[in-house]
Structure 1
């Protein structure tokens, strides 16, 4: 069975089942296992001199090891590939987590803050309704790329080995790819490789959102705003989502008690946001996913 055919079925299975709580309460999720491995390696290696070289060695080991593991599992046929791909795609769980913020926000602002704190790393204590909604929508857009389109893209290109390499490097970036004294050198290789692996998927995600919401005529503006983002990739899906919904997202936010003056994406868009906008963002996630699914099916049939 072709990579495209397996991916098509995996995307459907993920959308249908998501992440069954009963299963992952009993056994660690593969992404959790990857994270534990990276955490233990970081504790052993991220000290003393030559931190960049040590981080580069860890990144290379993750890539080679993930590729080898993927090739080994693939030798057993398309069924284990399908099951593992479905587990490592995150469309259903992404929508569930984002929608949970909107549902909580309708109960109270405090409930909304607690829900959004589960999916973003910024400070939430001083957020108002618009800030909670904006944060959830930004997370939706960025994670559509990182958690759905990018792993699907790399599975389509290189099968299960490609998907596992992507997930390992993306997990490493989320854990050690920070520009702070502890991780600046050690995590640099993982962060740069993650940027490279996400370069095409981020722009594909923006295009999927743009096409499904008929805002591709705004592509020059989407590209312009994307370049304002501190990440070379995250700004693309965020900018497309902002224009799809006619809203302004990103902008100033606080981390560890420090306010950072990031620019708004689609700065002229509506800034007063609510749970209704989160609902629209979840709808946008499904519309972009549906176009991706149709594209994969077309490739499989060809």
Structure 2
């Protein structure tokens, strides 16, 4: 990135040299997220010095330094936020950014898990506290966080799990066993009413979708775990009807629940390694990177966008 607000440039640079406690990592997969886009726009609260390499998370193998040959995750320690990040074939990473990856876990899945699965896990188990007595509705259920939340709700024993999608063509993207609720605006309210109220909702998108849940999606005495706002950052709350419905609106704040991240990630890592949990991933190589960034901005990416810097193939899981 040479200018904030401009597209990144693909450049050839020397392989980094490790120093101190850093390690040289051959990157096999790196996430491309809305956070990365926000940092690149220059509007984020912290700015790296220009020029910089973007990318805040990656998975790869150590090729120089302590633990050579070990598969690791890279995240934190300012990667892609205050300094160079992970959108590169090789990264010199500080030890503070390194954590282990379960053996046999696909790199693209491994890199997608931390940012989506931990918040979904906390939403399902800690905030909504889903049990076998619950019927659960998950919004944005064809997206990365929603898909994981729906899978975790099923594993928690929920009687039925419904997934909200905006259009019929997205029904096929729902995880197995998740029943579709299709619609937007008033059509979504009608679809939720026809489905029958749930006891729990996991809302990953906010805005008018959250309003629809409050109007018709959740039974009196139920609870909504709210964790996203891609569909809108504001809602209008009809206080008399909300008080009558007695539906709890519960924020999922990972900054306050950061002490749960390690346990949550360990749990979803185990499930993913066993093949019991997956995240929808779209992989791109360098040739498709700029176009994928544009599609991410337009909301056209299914699941999590992952750059595979040693692979030019474009694959959807």
TM (norm. structure 2) is 0.27
Task: Select the structure that is richer in helix.
Answer: 1
Task: Select the structure that is richer in strand.
Answer: 2
Q: Which has the larger radius of gyration?
A: 2
Query: Which structure has the higher relative contact order (CA within 8 Å, separation 6+)?
Result: 1
